[in-house]
Structure 1
């Protein structure tokens, strides 16, 4: 087997959390075809328990500790160098040395990068074939943050949007291929980096339909309770913004329901939403019971990048999901038959009220159709198969999914 270096910004496990879903399946796919040498960061003390699981998949690995608070302070040094803060946030001399040693010792000729800040560790090795999975256009996410936040945060976010886009364009121009998570995301990046358009493609996320499937899960809700559930990392600002918007503007118009916010590390803003009709769970051992036994799942995101795993996972659980247009981006599903779409407060209230007032058979039919859609269109193996030719150096047109 040939050796390959994989650079990931956060330990790719457990495979049920945000971007770790994509990176974990990427790692498993590559490990079946290459001897994978993995360099990654661990930014959550709880995640050290997963190191042996990840090590078992790799030929060799390096896990660098990253303290988010210290990293944020350190990243401010990028202002003096006119660099993207994200680069300094993920800068680590020990990880750089390990990468250099692995490249020399194993004669590695292929590098896969997951997330643009990790591309800095691949830059010295222009002789290798380098494929970068950007996932999302992160610079545009920072631009959206700047529009939503007040000064001085808006000024800092606007700075990061500009400098990170400059680096993303540099990465796309110097690497052999750049991938994103959806066709709209790839189209956006082609517009922002037109000089590299011919080497920008995409492959969407898949779903582990064996894990995310209806089952015999114990009901976490009180008898007779009608729950509406949102699942996600609750220190991630787009998720925070989504639940704040829903709790403050939609929920007051809904009768006899309770809103459950399920996810790790709830921010102070999220915790402040707790009320008789709002439950903030924090970390739970398994989100599936909360999804299965909820009356509805919601994804009211107003800022979103790429494909929302939370939507696909709820669909795989055969649950009817109410989404905003932002949360639907990149997901091929029939509105009204496989999920419900609502663009603003009145539409969201109307969609949820109508769904809950209608026959349960109608919601069950939407859930069943959603499950069928995921099973046929979102298997991981089919999605990741496109990578093989790209990494091998065969840039056929079919890898740019249209």
Structure 2
């Protein structure tokens, strides 16, 4: 018999989401208003104000997805054909798609073997006269070294963009909120994230000019204060009033979501401590625990064995590093050896959820111990 004979709570079932009366009321409020477009309704602007207040930043711009938020950031950074943007090979394609859409070139820097986040030394070595920005991804909710990356970007005159899609209310080792050191920080409200509006995104900044550019890019370059004039390039990345209203309700719950995920994670860390060959993140203080990453040997065997015990697990998180996808050309195998080793053999990612009970976490720990013993 497997350890689990029933599914764990997940983001694809009602028990694994925090959607309730507040979200229902928000949807009905918008429907009753008859205004579903955020250009003319109050919900999108209210979401932006509440997000800016939550993160202590001067401005937030709401949009249709986390990928859209990153496109706003890349466009505001002025990325043009031939410009280079340095980022990680272990992330969702949404991290790099905006760079390609602007005609830029993605430069992949290797990661640190302990957590899969960008290696600042590799970033610094990848800088050329064409480099314009760095996109730091806080993988699984664990902090990239944004302090060091900030210093590198300042020294070379580069924009630092934080991809916080997986790191709602995460903190670095010094207790600073992830998303407050970059020139722009981008967040996702997609179904699988800590909080959700189905899809949706937010970009925050302290720079009024960057905020202006992002707001224009999200609305077809249309400054509506001067009539139907398009002075800059833009796309339609507007969030809907329905998504914004649901996001506002979810925003009020994100602190509790992260608190519960942290508590469950510490329970699992304690339960599997001392297992030879099984490593948990060293930097756990401030971790947002979007997924629970482990470092093992032969991650494919581990993933299959844990899944057979009723505990879903993903070998490598990705099937391949980003640059190994067919959309890219000119990126050779071996470009980022640490990233390739993690994806191919050592990284194991477990889904994580605020709705887990202590008994659920005990089952996960028991399955890990069983697979380790085998």
Which of the five TM-score ranges fits, normalised by the shorter chain?
under 0.3
With the length of structure 1 as denominator, give the TM-score of the two structures.
Answer: 0.23
With the length of structure 2 as denominator, give the TM-score of the two structures.
Answer: 0.24
Higher RCO (CA 8 Å, separation ≥ 6 residues): 2
Q: Per residue, is there more helix in 1 or in 2?
A: 1
